[in-house]
Amino acid sequence: MPASFDSCKKIALSSHLLYVGLHIQVMGVVMTDTEREAEFERAVLPEANRLLGLAVAIVGDPHEAEDVVQESMFSAWRSWRALRDPNSLSAWLTRICVNHAIHRRRLLHRRLLWPPERWAVEPVLPTLPEARLAEIERAFRSLSGPQRAVVVLHHVDGLTITECAGALGCRPGTARSHLGRAMEKLRRGLADA
């Protein structure tokens, strides 16, 4: 069945949804695509900056991170009707963004489109000496995508291990393992420098 609303002629009476052409009827209220877009924007735009920070931390390049967020927003738009609990919007968007960021990082790494020097992230802690920032950045870049994601989600966003696991799509034990390995690798990388 086509994904576009233009060609959608599905009637789903059991869920009280009626899709006909460009209108969506929910419990007797007709919602046009424009209204649906406005609802989507109101819900997800406040999350955009947080998702961009997360994507930069995982991918390592601000421009690639912008693409990741854009892809994440597109995926969220396509799946907007699938969101069952509006209270879990932030976790849902985080998971979409983390998945896209890890995929993008693997793709960049695999194809070697840019040398690692181009992946440098702008320093987050400008009060540290330049040499120490470079050491921290080098150590952070050595982490895998899931390790970067769990470090940022846990230590920057303040999520619990269980919430990190939900965002990564893995079990809490796996998230804990990623975090432990990442922290050990960071300690070793910074101790050697």
* Residue boundaries of the structural domains of the chain: 33-122, 123-193
Q: How far apart are CA 178 and CA 183, in angstroms?
A: 9
Answer yes or no: same fold for 33-122 and 123-193. no
d(CA 67, CA 76): 14
d(CA 122, CA 49): 16
Q: What is the pLDDT of residue 105?
A: 82
Sign of CA dihedral 98, 99, 100, 102: positive
pLDDT at 68 over 80: yes
> Confidence class of residue 128 from pLDDT cuts 50, 70 and 90?
low
73, 68, 71: which is closest to 53 by C-alpha? 68
Whether the pLDDT of residue 114 is over 70: the answer is no
Note the pLDDT tens digit of each residue in 79-97: 888 888 888 899 899 999 9
What does the alpha-carbon distance between residue 37 and residue 11 come to, in Å, rounded to a whole number? 21
- The matching CATH number, chosen from 1.20.58.110, 1.10.10.10, 3.30.1330.10, 1.10.8.60, for 123-193 is 1.10.10.10
Distance CA 49, CA 120 (A): 19
Q: Which residues pair with 12 in a beta bridge?
A: 17
What confidence tens digit (pLDDT) does each residue in 5-44 have? 333 323 222 222 333 333 333 334 445 677 778 888 888 8
Rounded CA-CA distance 29/23 in Å is 10
User: Which band of pLDDT confidence, cut at 50, 70 and 90, is reported for residue 150?
Assistant: very high
Look at domain 33-122 and name its CATH class. mainly alpha
**Can you give the pLDDT at residue 80?**
84
Segment 131-140, tens digit of pLDDT: 777 888 888 8
Mean pLDDT along residues 59-76: 90
Rounded-to-integer distance, Cα 173 and Cα 162, Å = 9
Report the C-alpha gap between 57 and 186 in whole angstroms.
14
d(CA 156, CA 100): 19
Given the structure tokens 């924007």, which residue do they identify?
41
Q: Give 51's pLDDT tier (boundaries 50, 70, 90).
A: very high
Of 8-12, 117-121, 128-132, the poorest mean pLDDT is in 8-12
